[in-house]
Structure 1
Amino acid sequence: MREPRLAFGPDLVKLIAEIDEFKGRWEALKTLSPDRLSALRKVATIESVGASTRIEGAKLSDAEVEDLLSRAISVKAFKTRDEQEVAGYAEAMDLVFEAHADMRLTENHIRQLHKTLLRHSDRDERHRGSYKSLSNNVVAFDVEGQEIDVVFETTSPFDTPREMEALVAWTRKALDEEALHPLLIIAVFVATFLAIHPFQDGNGRLSRVLTTLLLLRAGYAYVPYASLERVIEENKELYYKALRRTQTTLKSETPDWELWIGFFLHCLKRQKDGLSARLDRERISQDSEADLPELSLQVLKALQTNERLTIAQLAPITGANRNTLKVRLRELVAEGRVRQHGKARATWYSL
């Protein structure tokens, strides 16, 4: 792998400094109760799973993702490919969150995460965790689904093992030696990984899982509490434009890194800005709970422990009658503290 030559103006240097300042303040910022932090992380995970799979064409909304993960993970009952992809992404993210300290960037760990990502996809069973054996160029399709053009030519199956070995070796060496700022190293890794496109399928989703892994290992401990994938989804057109601009120059003597790295850093800034705003709202909400009725506090506590509850389930937990519960739940829904799902007898509630 050619050593990237990176030179940037003051704007990108300022972005890195701002992101690192938030990273340094994170321990002091996360003053919310453990229950509220847990709820914040759950929301971010649902947003990440939904957004990352939708970037690749899935159609499930965040509400549908939340419902699927709350009811189906335990029974492994996935009816569609969209559901399979959502379940796999959620499990890969859980693995990264729980084991990132022990998951140094290696080809084996990359393959392991790819296996987890496609664990529930029947169509992908033969190539889970294995580098591609067929060409998988990025192509454009017409409205009838017919291929009309090659947008980007990825690495050939023959060259993929060699290029992946070189990419992983360069990334580890650069991180260990602190040759560049870690955010720049991660940006270079992601763009190069997607240019190689090492697996037959799942490369886009896996690149975002690996981004989270590398950020956590670089000390950006706030990442699980805010969805970077959601930011990318909201800027999907620019994401592909920046990525292609850089990737089409990678084999030249002077690759153009500026647009991609600028996009990547701006996404990280939006991620931390969004988290900072949510923390402020949560602090205000936490402070205002002191004025809530005791029953409302009991309901919130029950929903922090249980992902979804009906009135029939809340009644024995709180010891309140259903009519009083309905009144308190209406108040909590109106205040935005609780979300109502379904109608009539099928109604249930979540934070």
Structure 2
Amino acid sequence: MRSFADLDRCIGRVPGSIVTTLRTVDVGRGSEALYRDQLPGLLNQLANRARVASITSSSAIEGIVVSDTARADRILAGRVTNLRNRSEQELAGYRDAQDYLFQGDWRPLNPGLLLHLHKLLFAHTAGQGGQFKIEDNLVVDRGATGEMTIGFRPVRAADTPFFVAELIDRYLAEIAAERHHPVLLVGLFALDLLVIHPFEDGNGRVARALTNALLMDAGYSVSRYVSLEQQIAQSADAYYQALLDSTHDWHDGQADPWPWLSYFVDVLASAYRIFAERAASDRADGSKQNRVRDYVLNHAAPRFRVSDIRTALPGISDPTIRVVLDRLRREGAIASEGLGRAAAWRRTSS
């Protein structure tokens, strides 16, 4: 809410580097309709993989990991009813919250939506899902030697409902006014929501899931095909540092939003570049078998799995991949290690 109180002062002068990155984002946005028309099969596959990556990555950022990947896949597919521990319960909760948003009928944006997402997040967990915090909280950092320091002080519990409602009202008004770039507005919304820290637990996951929905609502749908959460998980230190740098003096309305917005826009631009690369790969000349062969011999790690090829070459079916692997094995170019779907492969020639 504080960032929106004087928006012209806050983001009225956009740094040149961010202007350049926003151009990359807008070019990527312009290509989305073309890909939807020409590559619907690829986009369906990308969407399925991005869903899994987003749920697992956003959970992993908070230390929620289901180490049995096959069981995690079954949980995400909704085929597990007996959730064994809190990690499995919270993984299923984030699945439900994200799927609710991705269905596209979550509007309008209001405090009730945030409470509903939080309720879904903890629907499988005994706790306080679906209500704002009732006690003041602190965000703390743990140093390498275990010492605890205060990262920032969120809004008081008593003030939380007001700040959440005010943030939403100001955000919607600025989106409607169209005076500032919508990606910057979404980024500021996420920043303010995280500083308000409206819940006892689950603030980061609610904010990241809602960020995806707000970007799509503004016409930037890349998060449906490339997981932003996965990129955040891979740069977690930079993510937390950018947030911390933009929280100083937030309560006084003097925070510098650009460390966070620079990180946020970079993540979005990177997602669009990945999206374009995967789309171009699917449209490239040459048979799909030749592309698998080229990847295995020239680009894959010396030891790899089918899942690595699947990730690198979306749009190519597992049967096609296995045909190529079998041919390369007969040629002596690769050798298998293990049996079945979990088998690994290694190159025997360079």
The TM-score range, normalised by the shorter chain, is: 0.7 to 0.9
Distance 1:10 1:333, change over 3 A: farther
Secondary structure, in 3 states, of the residue corresponding to 2:246?
Answer: helix
**Counterpart AA for 1:257:** P
1:3 paired with 2:6, answer yes
d(CA) in 2 for partners of 1:162, 1:70 = 35
1:37 paired with 2:38, answer no
d(CA) in 1 for partners of 2:243, 2:117 = 23
CA offset digits 1:221-254 (Å, max 9, x no partner): 3320011111111111111111111112212353
1:106 paired with 2:113, answer no
Counterpart of 1:137?
A: 138
1:246 paired with 2:231, answer no
Secondary structure, in 3 states, of the residue corresponding to 2:47?
Answer: helix
Moved more, 190-199 or 244-253: 244-253
d(CA) in 1 for partners of 2:266, 2:183 = 11
d(CA) in 2 for partners of 1:62, 1:52 = 17
Counterpart of 1:337?
A: none
Whether the 8 Å contact between 1:137 and 1:154 is mirrored in structure 2 is: yes
Whether the 8 Å contact between 1:50 and 1:61 is mirrored in structure 2 is: no
CA offset digits 1:84-116 (Å, max 9, x no partner): 22211122111111125x512111111111111
Moved more, 32-41 or 254-263: 32-41
Counterpart of 2:219?
A: 219
CA offset digits 1:107-131 (Å, max 9, x no partner): 1111111111221122x2xx21110
**Counterpart AA for 1:20:** D
1:52 paired with 2:39, answer no
CA offset digits 1:282-328 (Å, max 9, x no partner): 3349x624899xxxxxxxxxx9xxxxxxxxxx9xxxxxxxxxx9974
**Counterpart AA for 1:95:** Y
Q: CA deviation at 1:332?
A: 9.2
Counterpart of 1:18?
A: 24
Which of 111, 121, 124 is the matching residue for 2:125? 121
Distance 1:332 1:254, change over 3 A: farther
d(CA) in 2 for partners of 1:70, 1:240 = 27
Question: What is the 5 A alignment of 1:227-246?
Answer: 227-246=227-246
Counterpart of 1:331?
A: 326
* Runs of 4+ that moved beyond 6 A: 142-145, 345-348
d(CA) in 1 for partners of 2:254, 2:322 = 65
Distance 1:290 1:231, change over 3 A: closer
Secondary structure, in 3 states, of the residue corresponding to 2:91?
Answer: helix
d(CA) in 1 for partners of 2:115, 2:232 = 24
**Counterpart AA for 2:326:** E
d(CA) in 2 for partners of 1:251, 1:240 = 19
Question: What is the 5 A alignment of 1:288-299?
Answer: 288-289=287-288
Counterpart of 2:91?
A: 86
Distance 1:27 1:37, change over 3 A: same
1:95 paired with 2:95, answer no
Secondary structure, in 3 states, of the residue corresponding to 2:180?
Answer: coil
d(CA) in 2 for partners of 1:213, 1:254 = 28
Whether the 8 Å contact between 1:65 and 1:86 is mirrored in structure 2 is: no
Secondary structure, in 3 states, of the residue corresponding to 1:281?
Answer: helix
Distance 1:157 1:22, change over 3 A: same
1:276 paired with 2:263, answer no
Secondary structure, in 3 states, of the residue corresponding to 1:173?
Answer: helix
Counterpart of 1:194?
A: 194
**Counterpart AA for 1:288:** S
Q: CA deviation at 1:218?
A: 0.4
1:206 paired with 2:221, answer no
Q: CA deviation at 1:141?
A: 4.1
d(CA) in 1 for partners of 2:328, 2:158 = 57
* Percent of residue pairs bearing the same amino acid type: 28
Secondary structure, in 3 states, of the residue corresponding to 1:139?
Answer: strand
Which of 82, 97, 102 is the matching residue for 1:77? 82
Corresponding residue pairs, total:
306
Unaligned runs of 5+ in 2: 292-309, 311-318, 330-336, 344-350
Counterpart of 2:333?
A: none
